[in-house]
A and B are shown apart, each in its own frame.
Chain A
């Protein structure tokens, strides 16, 4: 045992306590940094070595050894967080998309399609009541025009929403590519840094953030490689493996009109294979682009076709003021193309008898279409009820998922987050230990002083 080993022991203590104090400083500095995991100093006591053979002296050479710093993070909670964040992004996205579609309906209101249809039927009644009145006929044409325009506007609304969401999908996929490239880069640094024995805790924190981001964007899932890398896959296919990232691209029609013939998909750029069932934000957008939007657009086309066909059929069974059979009132059988085909108010086939110019029997039949069971009004009300139910359900699911995600996040923050009280306590501990180690050093020094300077006088 060396004469000065006591000094060395005190020195190792001073170094370790200072390191601990610095780490406390780092933790406090990052108390509010998103994604930061608190770090802990790992130390071990020096000594307790197996005695050498034939050794006569106790080989005591004490002190404290700093092994490194470790990140406080629960791997199970991290995996759960990825899943829940991915699910939350999907459900929130779905709910947002449905609210957006719902807003095209403007119901219930005094300006929505239902109100416009009611006005149209009222217009037919007015013509039935005064078939000879040009004002009633003109008013009817204007109201028919407004109904057609309202349907056209809804159709344009669907098309615009499709295009908007198509762009949003492109942006989302660009974000995915940026994030996966970032992940590959961080994997590289972490693996190399770990091999070189460097402190990579902060890099790992950043990497965890990127993995959660990928889960949110495209529903990616992760696995941990033994060498320290995190591999990410989406829809069962690898997206990032170690330090290599694959690029995603979007494919499919840019317009709602072309969607049926060219559905939207997210694909891998290298082999053009389709990403099966993407989740997260991208998943919600793909679902809407291929399913929800085309479906509601088609349902409104159905309403427009029913309106045009039923009105035209009755109109063609009646007679104009000049006694000729009526022509179609509406042309076009989709919400986008429906138009009023008649310009001359006299051409409204109000009469049910070619010899009676000012009869209103047929106009009354037209007005009665609004009361028909299973008619246009009922069909439209069903579409509105359907979007209402879907949007409502989606919002509730998203709310529930929000609560679940929050719970997991609290649990993560509870493990990984910094508690200032805790850090302050640690700070006091390190501070006092440092002072104590200094005292040891002084004591050993005084002892040696006695031995060296005061002896032999």
Chain B
């Protein structure tokens, strides 16, 4: 038996059809307006969970980029300081050699002049060793003091290390130990003090001081190389994390955001469909036998 068509069943069907049509149109409009295809978890449960994880990952990569950039800046300050120290020490070595050879070796006044110049170099070296980054001495470990070395050249920092996390499970040391300026008997400030005193009073002992000075210079130079290596490690990590973050952001956009071109075409198609449905309904619903009875 074919189904009887009644006014109410017909209007109910038409209403449902139009409503579904309008519902789809509304959904597309909402997506266009928000630019998101996953606006709530139920829009795509797996997509939403994935989006949450991606956001967490992007946050972590951005942290790594920030830490690595900051660490690199800190290291480059230390690198600059070590470079200056190296220059100063080479100048000091020249002066010491000058003081050990004639004519200065036999001339107390000339040695006094050299000792005076070394005094200036020592002060310059001290100031270099007390270089700060954002108010913290770069050679002072994690100290809360303002300077890493006091006026006498004694170390006032601590043995803490400053680390920066630049990737999951990767930490890089971004400070430089005060050991770079020599330890114990070959600590550079002590060595320079000893050279000054010996130049003035006991020129024959300067040769031993020179050996210790050379040890110090070697220590500074080798630290300079290590810092350079770590610096390039940091910049590489920062670039890598930045690239990963960009890739993850693209993935996130892929999940959450609408494809604008596709959305516009869908919306157009749906609008045309809706208008056609409205037009057809207007034509279908009106006629009845009433229109044809006299």
Contacts and interface: CB of A to CB of B under 8 A. Distances in A.
**Is the A/B pair a real complex?**
yes
Interface of A: 31-32, 38, 98-99, 102-103, 105, 107-108, 114-115, 117-119, 121-122, 125-126, 128-133, 321, 351, 353, 355-361, 364, 367-368, 370-371, 377-378, 380-382, 384-385, 387-392, 395, 406, 409-411, 413-421, 424-425, 428
B9 interface: yes
B55 A118 contact: yes
B163 A360 contact: yes
A418 B12 contact: no
A355 B48 contact: no
A368 B42 CA distance: 30
A129 B67 contact: yes
A122 B136 contact: no
B51 interface: yes
B41 interface: yes
B289 A425 contact: yes
Contacts of B179: none
Contact of A121 (B59, B135, B141): B59
Interface stretch (B164-172, B188-196, B200-208, B243-251): B164-172
Nearest to B168: A371
Nearest to A378: B53
Given A356-B158, A425-B289, A417 B7 contact: yes
Given A125-B67, A367-B165, A410-B12, A132 B144 contact: yes
A420 B7 contact: yes
Contact of B49 (A126, A368, A381): A381
B46 interface: yes
Contacts of B58: 118
A65 B37 CA distance: 68
A144 to B, nearest CB: 15
B228 to A, nearest CB: 21
B283 interface: no
11 contacts: A99-B40, A108-B48, A108-B52, A117-B56, A118-B60, A359-B142, A381-B52, A385-B46, A385-B49, A390-B42, A395-B42
Contacts of A98: 42
Nearest to A424: B289
Contacts of A367: 63, 165
Contacts of B40: 99, 102-103, 105, 107, 388, 391
Interface of B: 3-9, 12-13, 16, 38, 40-46, 48-49, 51-53, 55-56, 58-60, 62-63, 66-67, 70-71, 134-136, 141-144, 158, 160, 162-165, 168, 171, 256, 288-290, 293
A364 B142 CA distance: 15
A415 B4 contact: yes
B243 to A, nearest CB: 19
Contact of B52 (A360, A384, A410, A416): A384
A218 B143 CA distance: 72
B160 A358 contact: yes
A398 to B, nearest CB: 12
Nearest to A115: B55
Secondary structure at the B interface, as helix, strand, loop or mixed, is helix
Contacts of A126: 66
Contact of A388 (B41, B70, B289): B41
Nearest to B290: A424
A370 B51 contact: no
B160 A420 contact: no
A126 B65 CA distance: 12
Contacts of B134: 130, 133
A107 B144 contact: no
B63 A121 contact: yes
Given A121-B59, A121-B60, A364 B70 contact: no
Contacts, number: 179
B45 A389 contact: yes
Contact of A364 (B48, B143, B165): B165
Contact of B9 (A115, A129, A131, A414): A414
A118 B141 CA distance: 29
Nearest to B4: A414
Given A356-B141, A406-B16, A107 B158 contact: no
Contacts of A410: 3, 9, 12-13
Given A31-B7, A417-B7, A418-B8, 16 more contacts: A105-B40, A105-B41, A108-B38, A114-B55, A115-B55, A118-B55, A122-B59, A355-B158, A358-B143, A358-B144, A385-B45, A388-B42, A388-B44, A388-B45, A414-B5, A428-B293
Given A99-B42, A356-B142, A32 B8 contact: yes
Contact of A381 (B38, B53, B158): B53
Given A114-B55, A367-B165, A417-B8, A353 B160 contact: yes
Contacts of A133: 134
A392 B66 CA distance: 39
A114 B52 contact: yes
B220 to A, nearest CB: 25
Given A32-B7, A132-B136, A382-B49, A370 B62 contact: no
A125 B51 CA distance: 22
Contact of A129 (B51, B60, B70, B158): B70
B226 to A, nearest CB: 21
Given A125-B67, A358-B143, A359-B160, A419 B41 contact: no
Contact of A122 (B3, B62, B141): B62
Nearest to B53: A381
B288 A358 contact: no
Contacts of B66: 122, 125-126, 129
A351 B162 CA distance: 11
Contact of A108 (B4, B55, B171, B289): B55
A125 B165 contact: yes
